[in-house]
Structure 1
Amino acid sequence: MRGTTVPPGTPCPIPRPDEVPLHRLEVAGPGAPPFAAGSFDAVGPLSRSARPHRHTFYEIAYVTAGSGAHVVDLARRPLAPPQLVVLRPGQVHHWEQDRRLDGTLVLFTEDFLVDHPGDRDLLRRLAARSRLRPAAGEDERVGRLMAELVAEYRQRAPAYESVLRSLLHVLVVRVSRLARDPGPGATAGATAEGRPAAVADRFGRLVASREAVTWTVRECAERLGVTPGYLTQAVRAATGRSPGRLLIEARTRRAQRLLAHTELSVRQVAARTGFSDPAYFSRFFRRETGHSPGTFRKHHSRVHLSLEGGSGRA
């Protein structure tokens, strides 16, 4: 989505005095997928940052060596490799007193999950866990899968983006299995607590619904029983972005899924995402994704009619 990725070497914007620095995902160019994978060294010095910061992207870190602690939303979590760390966009984190920190990172924005939108909910739950440690034997499987993602990302063979999406889906599902049974030190309340966090969480679930993509911030606030101002403060504190921006991104994801997985015409997709004017929808879609609806469909089409229960064209 717009504003979540930047070209390599782009400096982080200077935050306001009351804001935590926001890191965006570096990608090779306009046509490159919003994804990166590699070791801590390969990703760069910010991957080990000791200064609290936020991301516009998800991060899955498989820590295989090192000591110290990982601090997420003020909760200090001692490192005990091998272990997995999952971060969602907006979480404040840093590495504290790390010694020889090593492992593999997988970084991706929310729109990279267009083929498997259910993974967003799994990732949100995983990000709330204080520790994820693979059992003996399972650590090797996770390591091999992470290595496959890195190799595919580096080689960029034909159709590599589709392979990356599939491998990432497998990784998310396998990691979610590790979180089914609470282990020592695993707590569900690792994210910020209190009513603002609860409101932000409810808003996140709300915008994941089909109907919400056409709602305004005011309409969402009314359904949550809060004022638009309170909703804006709560969501910005939790994610670093405004509810309006998140609604736009949800609208774009919905359009991407319909274009990729149904035979609905562009006019029909526009109507189902709240646009009465297909031309305006096309301008909106190009602004948010960098591609026209037709171009996006050409490269991502995987028709699955059950999403809408019909295939007629307007």
Structure 2
Amino acid sequence: MRGTTVPPGTPCLPPRPGDVPLHRLEVPGPQAVPFAAGSFDAMGPLSRSARPHRHTFYEIVHVTAGRGTHVVDLARWALSPPHLAVLAPGQVHHWERGRGLDGTLALFTEDFLVDHPGDRDLLRLLAERCWFRPPPEDDRRIGALMTELVTEYRQRAPGYAGVLRSLLHVLVVRAARLPGGPAAGGTGPGAPPGVPVPGVSRPGVPAEGRPAAVAQAFVRLIARPQAVTWTVRECAERLGVTPGYLTHAVRSATGRSPGRLLIEARTCQAQRLLAHTELSVRQVAARTGFTDPAYFSRFFRRETGQSPGVFRKHHSRAHQSLEAPRARA
């Protein structure tokens, strides 16, 4: 996927003034697989970053030691290892007062999942819950898989890309079986407010064939920050279907309309910007597709039960890395 990977050492800059910084996956060359794995130390200081940021890639973190808090969007998870965290592209996260943080990370873009496209839906469901505490036996198996991923990635023996994809597939499936995971029938209690990711593999949801594929593509589309300003018609055009077909496909797979899911995506993006940036309410309104800040405030109160100002007061933790945009002369 274009723009999701960069050569090593490329600065991670926010795409627009005031936005949460966007990190892309560093790969050694244009032909390299969009995957990386290693310890916190091997992955560098950004792996323990205390500054709120988001990614263009998925991140699976197996935390084996440390103290502090992992903040993901609006949820705060106290460290008491072992833990497994699954982050989807676009989620805002950082580590607060982290001490002795250790473990293993696997980073990869969506197009790395070419051999197992169904893993995309599992990963989004896992990212809904985000934070897991594996039982001892599961933790041992997850640790062994992470070690194998790191070893295969470092050695780069012939056929290593296929081996990495296979190991990652096993890791995703086993993570989904953890208590609270989608394969275990969990609905993600404690997950942060945001867009409910309507995977078509949820129990009891009959969705097959092209409608299911269209619904999956729609869910991936509206996960992009820029997509929250689009209409259902614009989303349908980008997916190459009619608005009526999109509505049928999404309702069949999720039980909800694409308009409702767009509203939830827009609300989630507004929450992220209010909590993790110093953009004004007017600027947040504009970034989420509202030309009238007063209407945005009414919309936000209706969806969250709070005004943007009250929400920011309770959730914002101003950080030095996020400066208010400076006025141009």
User: SS of the residue aligned with 1:137?
Assistant: helix
2:191 equivalent to 1:159: no
- Number of corresponding residues: 233
- C-alpha deviation, 1:14, in angstroms: 3.5
Aligned to 1:127: 127
Aligned to 2:102: 102
Deviates more, 1:218-227 or 1:115-124: 218-227
Structure 2 residue ranges without an equivalent (≥5): 201-211, 222-234, 248-256, 274-286, 288-329
Structure 1 residue ranges without an equivalent (≥5): 243-314
- C-alpha deviation, 1:217, in angstroms: 3.9
User: SS of the residue aligned with 2:107?
Assistant: strand
Question: Do the aligned partners of residues 128 and 236 (structure 1) sit closer, same or farther apart at CA in structure 2, a change above 3 Å counting?
Answer: closer
Aligned to 1:289: none
- TM-score normalised by length of structure 2: 0.62
- C-alpha deviation, 1:234, in angstroms: 2.8
- Matched-pair contact (CA < 8 Å) for 1:5–1:25: yes
Aligned to 1:51: 51
- C-alpha deviation, 1:22, in angstroms: 0.6
Cα deviation code 1:4-23 (max 9, x no counterpart): 00000000124423411110
Question: Do the aligned partners of residues 172 and 21 (structure 1) sit closer, same or farther apart at CA in structure 2, a change above 3 Å counting?
Answer: same
2:266 equivalent to 1:234: yes
CA separation in 2, counterparts of 1:88 and 1:32?
Answer: 21
Cα deviation code 1:183-211 (max 9, x no counterpart): 9xx94462433xxx359999x9745259x
1:208 aligned to which of 210, 216, 221: 216
Whichever residue aligns with residue 168 of structure 2, its letter is L
Aligned to 2:229: none
CA separation in 2, counterparts of 1:43 and 1:62?
Answer: 13
CA separation in 2, counterparts of 1:104 and 1:209?
Answer: 30
CA separation in 1, counterparts of 2:104 and 2:51?
Answer: 20
Question: Do the aligned partners of residues 209 and 53 (structure 1) sit closer, same or farther apart at CA in structure 2, a change above 3 Å counting?
Answer: closer
Cα deviation code 1:68-111 (max 9, x no counterpart): 11101121011110110000011011111101000000000000
Deviates more, 1:135-144 or 1:212-221: 212-221
Question: Do the aligned partners of residues 130 and 149 (structure 1) sit closer, same or farther apart at CA in structure 2, a change above 3 Å counting?
Answer: closer
Question: Do the aligned partners of residues 199 and 135 (structure 1) sit closer, same or farther apart at CA in structure 2, a change above 3 Å counting?
Answer: closer
User: SS of the residue aligned with 2:158?
Assistant: coil
Q: Equivalent residues in 2 for 1:234-313 (5 A)?
A: 234=266, 237=269
Question: Do the aligned partners of residues 57 and 235 (structure 1) sit closer, same or farther apart at CA in structure 2, a change above 3 Å counting?
Answer: farther
Aligned to 1:303: none
User: SS of the residue aligned with 1:216?
Assistant: helix
User: SS of the residue aligned with 2:66?
Assistant: strand
- C-alpha deviation, 1:54, in angstroms: 0.5
Cα deviation code 1:116-148 (max 9, x no counterpart): 011111111111115311212221111111000
CA separation in 1, counterparts of 2:217 and 2:151?
Answer: 35
CA separation in 2, counterparts of 1:182 and 1:233?
Answer: 24
Cα deviation code 1:162-203 (max 9, x no counterpart): 0000010011111111125589xx94462433xxx359999x
Cα deviation code 1:277-309 (max 9, x no counterpart): xxxxxxxxxxxxxxxxxxxxxxxxxxxxxxxxx
Whichever residue aligns with residue 237 of structure 2, its letter is T
CA separation in 1, counterparts of 2:197 and 2:127?
Answer: 17
2:27 equivalent to 1:19: no
Aligned to 1:148: 148
Question: Do the aligned partners of residues 141 and 192 (structure 1) sit closer, same or farther apart at CA in structure 2, a change above 3 Å counting?
Answer: same
CA separation in 2, counterparts of 1:201 and 1:19?
Answer: 28
CA separation in 2, counterparts of 1:221 and 1:45?
Answer: 45
CA separation in 2, counterparts of 1:51 and 1:160?
Answer: 33
CA separation in 2, counterparts of 1:80 and 1:29?
Answer: 37
- Matched-pair contact (CA < 8 Å) for 1:73–1:190: no
CA separation in 2, counterparts of 1:206 and 1:31?
Answer: 30
Aligned to 1:254: none
